[in-house]
Structure 1
């Protein structure tokens, strides 16, 4: 019954939707995660109106659209979302928007699927945490600029210039992070977190990455998962494990307790930003600032 009511609400809002593009001529853009909002803002600048659905600390795997969200989506010219089932509970909403000729763009479509990490649990699915590969984020920046230019050709040169500037910053970021990580011995590059959000990071920067939960936080970790990972931490003499800002810390605290009960000391090395950026207006509230913070936190805790 709730599903029927929600579907009727969506169609009602779409039916009543007037001209989505405001009289100022700017594109109305709606984005899902904070990472995508930050990227599109960097490319679109003051030539777009942008609204992000999710804020700091919000888990996109579990996010459900509110009535206000549906209204925002229904009035958009373009919706940018992650794809690869990242926003699993919004798929039905996006499909309905597409049927009403509202352009919905999965930023993951910019990438070659053959280069993505396959899911061991779900055949044909891929790890959606693509923002932790900076090279992917560069490709996605170019993809966003192309799509904004297609919808708003009079500002094409503006979008392309912003894209170029942002990509240069991302390239600098990559080298800066690599230099920081080089200060950490190879045998200490083991990253244990709440869920499998950092596998692309691990490949890019040569870390062994282990998540207590799977790719989606919708999958709960069981007692056997905790005990198995505790044994791994002791065997590898891992010094610190990490909480994630968008995942309840109780899972990592349970893991720490399991390790300590076996007479091995492991610290909680800090909180990492995984599925969402930090608070708006802070350095960690940007993609670049988030990545710098994460790497410093990881390296300092594992040294």
Structure 2
């Protein structure tokens, strides 16, 4: 009932604010609202000076559980363009976005990815794993859809958007190559990534890792005692000595996993903190998509035995952006 009440309030606010919203200004930057930091970064990379981007979900925020606030609703109903991920990532907000789309321009940018390239969802037969940003190759489809949406919103800037898109796609190619170089030094037997939830499936597919999450694809799925017990067995049997926590997911289940292994006489340490559903702190290199993945590649590979540079791809990890 609370969920329904929240949705109805949101839809009512859409109708009220959209009716009062002024027409988009012909001059000045496009006003863009993006749900996640990853999408916001893509819009900034492609839009440059042509856009002013607001991200709804900041560092450490879980998009699986996020609900729009009244401030969010006001921002989106006044924006020239709202970009959301789709693929059931922002499940709690879907009704709101469909209602907003009747009044404003709204684009689910991940929905442009070919379905044949997507992993099936472990909880819903007709849904897909939404964590495309874990693969720079898949993220290219999202970036290109962002460019298409910006061009449609401001066709006179098409040449600017096209040039920025080409540059950014080149950065993603370089990032993907760095990821492959980094993990190449991880012994085959150690290519097991244990995390709080199953956000790294596309990473595992691209880079040859078994990925084991305590929770499923959504952080809203339950992490039962049977699942933790089964993972403890796997840690012991396969000799896995490092697991990873996530910036946007509480680490209590991961601590239980480590304690369970210790009770079996097997020492497991935290190999590092990964960015799963949100990027780094504002103003840092890790608050960009490239920085986020650079951090993950470097942290995972280094903790599992590869010789990687502490500063990552360009020596900028840990530095301000």
- Write the mapping of 1:221-260 to structure 2, written as runs, cut at 5 A: 221-260=223-262
Residue 274 of structure 2 is aligned to residue 300 of structure 1: no
Partner of 1:15: 19
1:249-271 deviations in Å (ceiling 9; x for gaps): 11111111111111111001111
More displaced stretch, 132-141 vs 21-30: 21-30
Shift of 1:23: 4.9
- TM-score, structure 1 length as denominator? 0.96
Q: 2:76 aligns with which of 68, 73, 76?
A: 73
**Alignment check: 8 A CA contact 1:22 1:28 kept:** no
In structure 1, the partner of 2:317 is: none
Aligned 8 A contact 1:27 1:48 in 2: yes
Deviation at 1:26, TM superposition (A): 2.6
What TM-score results when the alignment is normalised by the length of structure 2? 0.91
- The Cα of 1:6 is off from its aligned counterpart by 3.7
C-alpha deviations, 1:97-116, integer Å up to 9, x for none?
Answer: 1111x121111122111210
Q: Residue deviations 1:234-259, cap 9 Å, x none? A: 11111100100000011111111111
Q: Number of paired residues?
A: 301
> Greater CA deviation, 192-201 or 173-182?
173-182
- 3-state secondary structure, aligned to 1:99: coil
Instruction: Pick from 41, 45, 49 the counterpart of residue 48 of structure 2.
Output: 45
Alignment of 1:123-138 (within 5 A): 123-138=125-140
Aligned with 1:65: secondary structure? Answer: coil
Residues 7, 96 of structure 2: 8 Å contact kept: no
Question: 1:215 aligned to 214, 217, 230, which one?
Answer: 217
Contact 1:239 1:301 in 2 (8 A): no
1:27 alignment counterpart: 30
Residue 59 (structure 1) aligns with: 62
CA deviation after TM superposition for structure 1 residue 2, in Å: 4.9
For 2:21 and 2:169, how far apart are their aligned partners in 1? 36
- Per-residue deviation at 1:139? 2.1
1:147-162 paired onto structure 2 within 5 Å: 147-162=149-164
Q: Does 1:36 align with 2:39?
A: yes
Distance in 2 of aligned mates of 1:266 and 1:295: 20
Unaligned runs of 5+ in 2: 306-321
Task: Note the residue ranges of structure 1 that are not aligned, 5 or more in a row.
Answer: none
Confirm whether residue 286 of structure 1 aligns to residue 288 of structure 2: yes
8 Å CA contact retained: 1:244, 1:272: yes
Return the alpha-carbon distance in structure 2 between the equivalents of residues 88 and 41 of structure 1: 25
Contact 1:243 1:272 in 2 (8 A): yes
